[in-house]
Amino acid sequence: MNVLLGLLTGLAFGVVLQRGRVCFNSAFRDLRLMNDNFMFKAALLAVALETIAFLVMAQLGWIHLNPKPLNWVGVIIGGYVFGLGMVLAGGCASGTTYRIGEGNTTSWLAGLFFAIFALATQSGFLSPIMNAINGWTIKVSSNSALYLGDKTGPTLATLLNISPWIAGLVFAALMLIYVFATKTTKRETAAWGWIKTGLLIVPVAMFGFWSSTLTGRVYGLGITGGWINVLQATQTNVALSWEGAEVLGIILGAAITAIIFKEFKLRVPKKGITYAYVVLGGALMGFGATLAGGCNIGHFLTGIPQLAISSIVAGIFFILGNWTMTRILYGKG
């Protein structure tokens, strides 16, 4: 049942990612490199609407808000390293994962090393680093029954000691004003417009949070934990979890739509060095995401809508890392 729910979530997510070409690496990087905010706007629209959606779901008792605890060292260093890695890998965690389904051999390699280094950081040869910083993890008292438990990761609501509803509505309103009141880069030949893409992410995120909660994992869309679980489930006796099934579903969903729309192709770069770049990129992403408590999907599509400080800070450092490596590799564009 857990596997089925995760798989369904992943399938839907994979379709949206592939059709919408949703990649946060692209969203952040294109802001700088191409003066292009098309994907960034789609992401912000999704975040704003999810903020409201999660509040409603929590109010109805379908989920609990469960923002990640804050570890400054983890989110700053992990976030920055992840940002560097996604540019080298040519895709963020979700971008890489869905492009595996499109046939990109560089994504296959990036994804594999993402998984290897994520698990290595969580419980393998790199775990001493995680253990070293664990003591600095911060949780605060929940100031609302919407949160899971008495203690929760700090959010804008707990920080200002206001109701998550008020904080959430103000946050969502500000985001929506920015999204619709400012100019958005045109992309006339896009399969899906940015508004359609942003809108369609929301029901997937809602179904994800609801169904994952049923399995005991009180959280929404995520990728890093899923990859870790896929590795564990294939190499050891650990059972495939909701999140592991979600990641497999993304690959499958993206593959299906890619094949239907004739966008599946086994793509191979001309120069071998590209493989070295994406291997390094994947490794940095795996390490960074685990250290930061999540990748761009966990933090942007699940954490920020809950106003988690950990996710907001991680998000900032994802972007800074991304812009740094973009400048190194591609100059000012």
Among 29, 41, 217, 299, binds another protein (CB under 8 A): 29
C-beta closer to another protein: residue 189 or 236: 189
Q: Where are the alpha helices (DSSP H) in the chain?
A: 2-20, 24-33, 38-59, 72-89, 93-102, 105-123, 127-133, 156-160, 164-181, 194-214, 224-235, 242-260, 273-292, 296, 309-330
Binding to another protein by residue 328, rule CB under 8 A?
A: no
Asked if 333 interacts with another protein (CB under 8 A), we say yes
Nearest-angstrom CA–CA distance, 110 and 221: 20
Query: Which residue among 44, 70, 102, 254 contacts another protein (CB under 8 A)?
Result: 102
In whole angstroms, what is the distance from residue 95 CA to residue 22 CA?
A: 7
222 binds another protein (CB under 8 A): no
Rounded to a whole number of angstroms, the minimum distance from the CB of residue 291 to another protein is 24
Q: Is the Cα torsion angle 191, 197, 199, 202 positive or negative in sign?
A: positive
The answer to whether residue 95 forms part of the interface with another protein (CB under 8 A) is yes
C-beta of 17 vs 63, nearer to another protein:
17
Q: How far apart are CA 143 and CA 333, in angstroms?
A: 46
Decide whether 17 or 230 has the Cβ nearer to another protein: 17
C-beta of residue 122 within 8 angstroms of C-beta of residue 283: no
d(CA 283, CA 309): 25
Identity at 81, one-letter amino acid code: V
**How far apart, in whole angstroms, are the C-alpha atoms of residue 109 and residue 275?**
7
Q: Which of 5, 7, 11, 23 binds another protein (CB under 8 A)?
A: 23
Residue 233 has a CB neighbour count (10 Å cut-off) of 17
For another protein, which is the closer residue by CB, 185 or 215? 185
Q: How far is CA 43 from CA 71, 86, 212, in A?
A: 25, 17, 22
Binding residues for another protein restricted to 169-188, rule: CB under 8 A: 185-188
Q: Which residue has the tokens 């994800």?
A: 208
Distance, in Å, from the CA atom of 240 to the CA atom of 225, rounded to the nearest integer, reads 11
Indicate whether 262 belongs to the interface with another protein (CB under 8 A). yes
Nearer to another protein (CB atom), residue 181 or residue 271: 271
Q: Which residue, 236 or 332, is less far from another protein as judged by CB? A: 332
Looking at residue 127, its amino acid is: S
Which window, 31-39, 156-164, 212-220, 236-244, contacts another protein (CB under 8 A)?
31-39
Q: Is there binding between residue 276 and another protein (CB under 8 A)?
A: no
Please tell me the distance from the alpha carbon of residue 75 to that of residue 130, in angstroms, as a whole number: 12
Q: Tokens at residue 320, please?
A: 């800074």
Helix (H, G, I), strand (E, B) or coil at 70: strand
> Smallest gap, in angstroms, from Cβ of residue 220 to another protein?
25
Taking CB under 8 A as the criterion, the residue among 278, 284, 309, 314 binding another protein is 278
In angstroms, what is the minimal distance from the CB of 11 to another protein? 19
Considering the complex, state which of residue 151 and residue 186 has its C-beta at the smaller distance from another protein. Answer: 186
64 part of the interface to another protein, by CB under 8 A: no
Q: Residues near 162 by Cβ (< 8 Å), separated by ≥ 6?
A: none
- For position 332 contacting another protein by CB under 8 A, the verdict is no
Does residue 151 belong to the site contacting another protein (CB under 8 A)?
Answer: no
235 belongs to the binding site for another protein (CB under 8 A): no
Please, what is the minimum distance in Å from the beta carbon of residue 264 to another protein?
Answer: 7
Of the pair 111, 208, the CB lying nearest another protein is at 111
Residues that bind another protein (CB under 8 A): 21, 23, 25-26, 29-30, 33-36, 38, 90-91, 95, 102, 106, 185-191, 262-265, 267-270, 274, 277-278, 330, 333
